[in-house]
Chain A
Amino acid sequence: MIEVSVHTRLGRFDLGAEFSSESGGVTAIFGRSGSGKTSLINAIAGLLRPTRGRIAIGDTVLFDSKAGINLPVRDRRLGYVFQDGRLFPHMTVRRNLTYGERPGKASLELGEVVELLGIRHLLTRHPHNLSGGERQRVAIGRALLSSPRVLLMDEPLASLDSPRRDEILPYLARLREMLDIAIIYVGHDMDEVVRLSDTLVLLSEGKVAAVGPVEEITSRLDLHPLTGRYEAGSVLTTRVAEQDEEFGLTHLALKQGELLAPKIDLPKGSPVRVRVRARDVAVARVAPTKTSFSNALPATLAEIGDNGGPYVDLRLKLAGGEDLRALVTRRAFVDMELEPGAEIIALIKSTAIGRRSFGM
């Protein structure tokens, strides 16, 4: 269990954030720039001292203003991966990696970490000889090797361009999968956050607007202004059901029904999380025939988010109970005479489900 309650004033900005999440898995702190994400994670790390609050991980209290507890940074044992990596420029990659090693108490060996992150060939190099992506991988390895209670990541991909990001994301996904370590991940890119996290903490102007499972938070229409309408979407938890070698497609099993997606190289039965953006979902009263929409899923219209603008948000319930969001024009919405409870068909193009929409 991770408990965080942080209250402090930073200049003219009030940070007052409280949330708790289960120890396992990835907790993402999501918010626009200036929402207080970095200050919050710095307070957890001990780099910023809140005026009041309490921060605890399991049975270990890191900070408690009432009890007068403020564990020094070096005793908190939180692996911090900074946005800019912060590798020590005068040390080789190997010395960087082993800087925080705790002899005899290490839960991970250098060899394992180097293998996991694919950085064996970099060991004798110096940070200035590395690419941005390599630097971040080394920074992650360095944090892991300090045997942290929790791994803190402050937008580790923010300083990288898109191809570099795609290079690192699989490593982060592997980390999640292979290591039994809790991660607190700060991000402002919804795609990235959704692919990696289990729990989402939505931060807005220094306050926690919502906390919950990522599938739930992203499909709540009332949180639209914070999660972003353009980026809005839903997360569907699926399994690989069948590979269609002929057309290069993968059948993903939903609770009921199937989703057809571009080929994913994973064995049958592997769990895959798919993010479907609301603007990629169309709706129809009756199932169209001879259409290029590969996915036509029966659904019930559960909620309508209409603020009078040109677009209307819809929350659909699929047959298996999953939430799916759709963004349609007001014109179509009026033409179709939609009302809550209506039985409709959700249409999704397979091509809308890209490589960037998968999480592990």
Chain B
Amino acid sequence: MIELTPIEIEALWLSLKVAFWSVTISLPFGIAAAYLLARARFPGKWLVDGVIHLPLVVPPVVVGYLLLISFGKRGPIGGWLYDTFEFTLIFTWKGAAVAAAVMAFPLMVRAVRLSLEAIDRGLEAAARTLGASEFRVLFTITLPLAAPGIVTGAVLAFARSLGEFGATITFVSNIPGETQTLPLALYTMTQAPGGEAQAARLALISIAIALLALAASEWLARRVHRKLRGEEMAQ
């Protein structure tokens, strides 16, 4: 086992923190957006669909730039936040989490939406004939049946957040210990003279984490699937 240096630990820990909060804050919105796109019919739906998917097709730098002008201390949202709560995202790890969340959002919505669309609507109708309110149908039938898609969406978003680079560096810059996540640290090392060895180590750490995340998601997906079908747990 290789020893990690304090700098590596710092970058790794920061990356995990950013990815965790990115998924946590965006999951409720992701599920709501997926539900809206899967079930609701309203004028301008194509536009909402398009805006949600935008981060998937525009360069990440563009997303970072847009975040910067809206959440900057003089931006329309950032200005209000700063004046009212003296709170700002600029140059903080929270900003990095927001950038990662925005970039990962379309992946999350797609996964949840697919599983929502695969649900047999007849089961929801059956629940209503049994006296269930819309609220109860949502929480006892729809969401549990969409659980595999929700898990997949969350894992995808987590992985995407770990790897986020362009939007992050544009929006919150590259500050060691605050916004310098693994990819940013790796980039910095490749720019520094004599940083090749350090860069290689950081690349290896990134690969190891990615593999771990994949294995964990596979395990989780199987577990959820089994639970849905009510099979005995393997362990």
Binding site for B on A (CB under 8 A): 45-47, 72-80, 82, 84, 86, 88-92, 99-100, 102, 125-129, 142-143, 146
Contact = CB atoms under 8 A, between A and B. Distances in A.
B123 A99 contact: no
Contacts of A74: 128-133
B228 interface: yes
Q: Which 9 residue pairs spanning A and B have beta carbons closest together? A: A126-B230, A100-B130, A86-B126, A73-B128, A80-B129, A90-B228, A146-B130, A74-B131, A74-B128
A129 B230 contact: yes
Given A86-B123, A90-B228, A126-B229, A45 B129 contact: yes
B129 A73 contact: yes
Nearest to A128: B229
A99 B130 contact: yes
B175 interface: no
A89 B229 contact: yes
Most chain A CB within 10 A, of B129, B228, B230, is at B129
8 contacts: A46-B129, A74-B128, A74-B131, A74-B133, A86-B122, A90-B145, A126-B229, A128-B229
B123 A88 contact: yes
Contact of A88 (B131, B133, B141, B227): B141
A129 B226 CA distance: 13
B230 A92 contact: yes
The interface residues of chain B, by DSSP majority, are classed as helix
A142 B130 contact: yes
Interface string B118-130: 0010110111111
The interface residues of chain A, by DSSP majority, are classed as loop
A231 to B, nearest CB: 30
A152 B204 CA distance: 63
A92 B227 CA distance: 11
Given A128-B229, A129-B230, A80 B126 contact: yes
Interface residues of B, number: 21
A98 B98 CA distance: 43
Contacts of B231: 126
B177 interface: no
Contacts of B140: 99
Contacts of A129: 230
A144 to B, nearest CB: 11
Contacts of A46: 129
Contacts of B141: 88
Nearest to B134: A74
B176 interface: no
B144 interface: yes
Contact of A100 (B131, B144, B228): B131
Nearest to A126: B230
Given A77-B131, A86-B120, A143-B129, 16 more contacts: A47-B129, A72-B128, A79-B129, A79-B130, A88-B126, A88-B127, A88-B141, A90-B144, A90-B229, A99-B132, A126-B229, A126-B230, A126-B231, A127-B230, A128-B230, A146-B130
